Chains A and B, each alone.
Chain A
Amino acid sequence: MAEHLLEVRGLKAAVEDKEILQGIDLCIDKGTTHVIMGPNGAGKSTLGSTIMGDPRYEVTGGSVFFNGEDITNEEPHKIAKKGMFLSFQNPIEVPGITLANFIRTSMEQQTGKRIRVWDFKKELQQTMEVLQMDSSYAERDLNVGFSGGEKKKAEILQLLMLKPSLAILDETDSGLDVDAVRTVSLGIKEYKKSVGGALLIITHSTRILESLKVDETHVLVDGKIVANGDSSFIEDINENGFERFL
């Protein structure tokens, strides 16, 4: 059997003794695009965070393998260095470090190499152009005072600069207007094209998926995956909702 990029087996996770994930099985192969849908409170964000090693969630059962390595209780920064990325639903405002310095620091942390300022600036600028971000954002403090749309663009900017082999996008389209969704979608397509990485898209709407080729769709309800399908499944859910899975 070929090795999967991500292999989640029977994953259970709890916060303050409340079990949120109740045995998740999920395999993602290199370069593929998976979508996780489900109603609010199903555990979608918890799944993304737990895979990324969020210490606020306690893994109470099962395992997570990434590139064949057991990362079940690994720390987030070590998982990041192995090539995983999580785009946050609510990116955090961090005063005192600019977006550009944050990205450069992250790149240097992950590669262990110093990056030449000139090369970095050039790449950053080009990438910001793709995302139609005003270049002034690079010198602003990370997410501080950014609009919802700019915060999400800043997440996608990090994705494009860090070039992970797996990107988990947690509700990246929530709270965005049509134009912002289009730009973010463009960024995600750019990631598929230039990096060729795999995607795990967590969403409860489908707007962001319209222009993406989806390989597999999973429905998460009450901490369990209750249905799987291909891209046509999305349309089905769109029309008929989640009710039949509840």
Chain B
Amino acid sequence: MKEKTYVDDIDRSLYDFRNEDKDAYKLEEGLTPEIVSKISEEKKDPEWMKEFRLKSLEIYNEMEIPDWGPSIDGLDMDHILTYVRPKDNKMQNKWEDVPEEIKDTFTKLGIPQAEHKSLAGVGAQYDSELVYHNVKDEVVAQGVVYSDLESAMQGEYGEMIQKHFMKLVPPKDHKFAALHGAVWSGGSFVYVPPKVHVEIPLQSYFRLNAAGAGQFEHTLIIVDEGAYLHFIEGCSAPKYNVANLHAGCVELYVGKNATLRYSTIENWSKNMYNLNTKRAKVEEGGKIEWVSGSFGSHVSYLYPMSILNGANARCEFSGVTFAGKGQNLDTGTKVLHNAPNTSSYINTRSISKDGGISTFRSSVVVAKKAKGSKAAVSCQSLMLDDISRSDTIPAMDIRTKDCDIGHEAKIGRISDETVFYLMSRGMSEEDARALIVSGFADNVGKELPLEYAVEMNNLIRLEMKGSIG
């Protein structure tokens, strides 16, 4: 038998660039009420937000670190800078006004190109401040609000934000939600008025760029009755030696008969602790569609949750997780069927190689009143060698007999025959394996806009499908 080759690690040289750390200032490394107050003052928070932050800090100090998932012992909160901002932190609406150095980083990430391809707006976070923000005129003309959360809080949507901010993910949810509540910074606010159909996706690109800096961006999206929005969040972070923490929070409110598609490709560098919390509440007849790709990070805890709160509300979740060497990615999703005739469809793929650990964890709860509901969970795992690991932990809590629940799990390896088939057509073994992996992840790939599908395939070291498609 010939020796097998394996799909190589993702080539990160493309993504692991970093800029010199020229930031104007950094706060002390620990976390105290003084620091939180200082953050609040810097941000010119309204009074309620300052109180919210301090209250969250108290909760943070009281809560224990979660002990049920991958180890986060490498994280030393006392030495993580929680707040770093670029020198020139004024909001930018024109590409020409963005500082050269930052522009250079974004150019490497393909931000302007993506925008040229008629994406509706770009809200890109550089460290903790939004430095570049641009919403296309047509979206504004439709009455859509797309801005950074801090400035939106000061304006006419302040009350709406206060009413919704961390109501889906309260600080008491877990320790890192509390931390987020205390030090959150940057992020996006989107409001889509009733019946407005936003044709082109809005996108936001988050990046971390300072050693030891955590990123705590908050995304708050409200899609009003009968409206439609596709929001894309892409993440990429340069590599650093100090452990990095990402504890963002995403709250999505999907109104009656509204639809929100929320797509993410997360590509954190391999020292990142990604402890992100995402939650959506869907009203009657509404729909949330999650498209989620998790590639980077050292450790991830990520389980976007859908609360189906009105009759006939729906949720679809398509996810792919790729755990390579040194990665322990614990991902999945949660659904709460809290009203009659709600439905959820979960379709995930996990890939592990080079000793990587990929765990799929899901929770489906069907409340007693959710009669006539349907839930289908399908998870497939692909292990690319003998030293990698893949676990599936699907939990179901069904409180009514009047519902239709399905679950299937498959686990496998790449068959030698398939590799031979592709090789017999002229593909090298490495290309053949990469193609098979990319095809395996196509449940997410086919749901993404082309640029993102291409980026994802790049991440799987596979430009094949995208570049010829």
Interfacial residues, chain A to chain B (CB-CB below 8 A): 49, 52-56, 58, 73, 75-77, 79-81, 85-86, 88, 91-92, 94-98, 101-102, 104-106, 108-110, 141, 158, 162
Contact = CB atoms under 8 A, between A and B. Distances in A.
Interface in B445-459: 445
Contacts of B226: none
A75 B426 contact: no
A81 B428 CA distance: 11
A76 B424 contact: yes
B418 A162 contact: no
A55 B1 contact: yes
A113 to B, nearest CB: 12
A162 B425 CA distance: 9
Interface of B is mostly: helix
Contacts of B439: 94-97, 141
A109 B426 contact: yes
A194 B469 CA distance: 28
Contact of B425 (A53, A58, A102, A141): A102
Given A75-B2, A94-B436, A97-B465, A86 B424 contact: yes
Given A77-B424, A79-B424, A106-B425, 10 more contacts: A54-B420, A56-B416, A75-B423, A77-B427, A94-B439, A96-B440, A96-B465, A141-B439, A162-B425, A162-B426
B348 to A, nearest CB: 15
The binding surface of chain A is classed by DSSP as mixed
B447 to A, nearest CB: 13
B427 A106 contact: yes
B442 interface: yes
A110 B435 contact: no
B200 interface: no
Interface residues of B, number: 30
Of listed B425, B438, B464, B469, residue having the most chain A CB within 10 A? B425
8 contacts: A49-B420, A52-B424, A76-B420, A79-B424, A95-B439, A97-B465, A101-B465, A109-B431
A86 B429 CA distance: 17
B67 interface: no
Given A97-B465, A101-B469, A92 B426 contact: no
Contacts of A75: 2, 423, 428-429
A195 B436 CA distance: 31
B425 A96 contact: no
A206 to B, nearest CB: 26
